[in-house]
Amino acid sequence: MARKLITGYTPIQEQQIVEAGIIDLANKSESAFSREILRAMKAIARTDDGDMPAVMEIHQTRLHKLLTKLYSVSYNIFGQRMLDSLAQMNIKRDVPMTPYFDTQMALWLRWVAGLRVTQISNTTSIQALEIIRIALEDSVTEGLAERETGILIQQRIAEQGGNLSRLRGRMIARTESHSSANASAEKAVSTVRSGIKKEWISALTERTRLTHLASNGQKVNKGESFSVGTDILLHPGDPNGSAKEIINCRCVVGYSLA
């Protein structure tokens, strides 16, 4: 008989179910991220250097709102799923379930949202300024007047910035949905007593990283971290991890009784 996790599914089934939920969540938010990134790029192109801080503050505020919404929805879906599974197993908890879980959610959300807002907004600025720099160089080469240069910059931002924003919106939505889904399950399991094991479950496809394939089936006690490549990760998508191990990852964690 196939080995079952706390959720009642086999490791392979668990990965497939959680990944499907993550993709659904990401699909509902990626266009919002794309629109915000392109909006910010266009604002940067229209802005004098002295006004840049204000533009970036608006961008960061909007990103924070988008991330907060995504994380909250993810916690309510994936965290509640794990809490329900624990309840069905009649596993004894150390602390009251809802207040503790809500507090952990708020703390994680505040920390990660702040971290990601800085990273995402910095990349937006760097990419927009690079597009503008090359457009200015081309305008000098072509001998364009000031008005024509402005039109060229806006065209480049609309075209190149549009392509970048679509790619980044999808990547951000997938990565942050994945990170928050696994963190939600981790926080839910943290409410119970010892005796819970967790294992790294990889998506076993040709696109899976070699380091993640090597980590498939790795087991540790709840609250402990996995060794993945050169990273030490509490769960797949751990915000403390390096980009090469967390971006577009599809691995999940399975929990079982020790």
Mind listing the pLDDT tens digit for each residue in 52-84?
999 999 999 999 999 999 999 999 999 989 988
Whether the pLDDT of residue 92 is over 80: the answer is no
Would you kindly state where each structural domain of the chain is located, as residue ranges?
14-193
Residues 23-59: tens digit of each pLDDT:
999 999 999 999 999 999 999 999 887 799 999 999 9
For the residues 123-146, what does the mean pLDDT come to?
Answer: 96
Is 42 within 8 Å of 161 (Cβ atoms)?
Answer: yes
pLDDT at 202 over 90: yes
Cα(222)–Cα(186) distance, rounded to whole angstroms? 8
pLDDT computed for residue 91 by the predictor: 64
Rounded to 5°, angle at Cα 172 from 118 and 20: 145
Q: Is the pLDDT of residue 1 over 70?
A: no
Q: What percent of the chain has pLDDT over 90?
A: 79
With a cut of 60, say whether residue 93 has pLDDT above it: no
Residue given tokens 């001998």 in the structure block:
143
Residue 103: pLDDT band with limits 50, 70, 90: confident
User: Do residues 196 and 94 lie in contact, with contact meaning Cβ atoms separated by under 8 Å?
Assistant: no
CA distances from 123 to 59, 95, 143 (A): 12, 40, 30
Q: Which residues contact 37 (CB under 8 A, 6 or more apart)?
A: 120, 124, 161, 164, 165, 168, 169
